[in-house]
Amino acid sequence: MSLLRMLFLLLATLPFLAQPGAAQDVTGSADHPLIPRYAGTEIRDYAVNAFDEFLLITGPSLPAGTGAAAYEASQPLEGRVSHFLYRAPMDRSALEVFRNYETALKEAGFETLFTCSKADCGPRFNSLINPGARYNGLIYGDQQRFLAAKLVRPEGDVYVSLYATSFEPEARPFILLDVIEVAPMEARMQVIKASEMEETLARDGRIAIYGILFDFDSAEILPESKEQIDQLAAMLQDSATLQVLIVGHTDGKGAFDYNLSLSQRRAQAVADALAAQGIAADRITPAGAGMVAPVATNRTEEGRAKNRRVEIVELVRN
């Protein structure tokens, strides 16, 4: 390695350097309760999102220019995402640290879904696991190893993405660990009462509803949606001549045609739920809008959450 490159990598990672022998966990950080810490490591970066998306890599990376897919296999996940960057002691190898994590995960009941080393992870794996070179230098290690694992639990499955490598300027292991606890988004939107829906429709001709929730990538309505479905049915029962469109909306993630189909299936699921409560089928018309009518930016999770909605639109027939 040239002196210039080494200096660049050293400067790029100054936030992660610590005084020799000093415990330098970042303020407010803590180990995940399911994943023990390798002895002597320090948490150098830490973040927890109560609900976010994560693409779990379950196959080698593909060469550049092979299309939209970056890996032979991957699994999109949603839920609580905990992210850690650990720095290990100087006198340990990335292989030793990685093997210790392998053993700990196995003992905790995790099943390995995919594992690889630098030789067989694929031509772009090191840069894709570290998007945007967030941790400059980690992609240049010569001891790169990766593991994806899954723990099945009654309260929700847990997935682990583990990447270990040696970092050249410090010649010590670093570990990127992401723990994804699969769960539906917490329902924080208040249930809209039947009277409020009726007033809003009379005034605006439409109303957005966020209290009807679905399984991830599914048209199955979650049980916690029952109260909002009941209020919608009550509104339609009180307004016996009202006809409506049930419009499903998705965020901007994923393929256009797929989101259009998903939103149609979700709208149909709501229409079916209303029909089961005695609402005549000719009064409710399901329609999928996919990603074409956002009400917020799709660049943030907060914005995407606002875009994932069901709208009730008054249908006036001349």
Domains and CATH numbers, the chain: 13-182 (3.40.1000), 194-314 (3.30.1330.60)
* pLDDT for the residue numbered 261: 94
Distance CA 41, CA 132 (A): 25
Copy the structure tokens of residue 106.
Answer: 């196995």
- Sequence-separated (6 or more) residues with CB below 8 Å from residue 93: 143, 166, 173
* pLDDT for the residue numbered 119: 81
Which residue in the block uniquely carries the two structure tokens 């290690």? 141
Pick the closest to residue 245 from 159, 310, 158 (CA basis): 310
- Sequence-separated (6 or more) residues with CB below 8 Å from residue 290: 249, 250, 256, 259, 260, 262, 263
Tell me the pLDDT band of 90, cut-offs 50, 70 and 90. confident
Mean pLDDT, range 45-68, rounded to an integer: 86
The packing angle between helices 194-204 and 226-238, to 10°, is 60
Each residue's pLDDT tens digit, 159-217: 999 999 886 555 788 899 999 998 765 555 578 999 999 999 999 999 999 889 887 77
Mean pLDDT, range 83-90, rounded to an integer: 92
Phi, psi of 8 (to 5 degrees): -60, -45
Distance CA 145, CA 122 (A): 12
- Percent of residues, the chain, with pLDDT higher than 70: 84
- Percent of residues, the chain, with pLDDT higher than 90: 50
Distance CA 80, CA 306 (A): 18
* pLDDT for the residue numbered 127: 73
* Better-predicted residue by pLDDT, 5 or 307: 307
* pLDDT for the residue numbered 104: 95
Counted residue by residue, the chain has a size of 318
Tell me the pLDDT band of 253, cut-offs 50, 70 and 90. confident
Distance CA 192, CA 201 (A): 12
Mean pLDDT over the full length of the chain? 84
Environment class of residue 39 by beta-carbon count within 10 Å: exposed (0-12), middle (13-18) or buried (19+)? exposed
* pLDDT for the residue numbered 184: 60
Each residue's pLDDT tens digit, 108-123: 999 999 999 988 888 8
Mean pLDDT, range 51-67, rounded to an integer: 86
Mean pLDDT, range 260-266, rounded to an integer: 94
* pLDDT for the residue numbered 279: 94
- Sequence-separated (6 or more) residues with CB below 8 Å from residue 184: 78, 213, 215, 216, 222, 224
Distance CA 157, CA 146 (A): 20
Each residue's pLDDT tens digit, 34-43: 999 999 999 9
N-to-C CA span, the chain:
76
* pLDDT for the residue numbered 13: 40
Pick the closest to residue 82 from 129, 48, 32, 36 (CA basis): 48
* Better-predicted residue by pLDDT, 239 or 16: 239
Mean pLDDT, range 240-258, rounded to an integer: 91
- Prediction pTM value: 0.56
Distance CA 206, CA 162 (A): 46
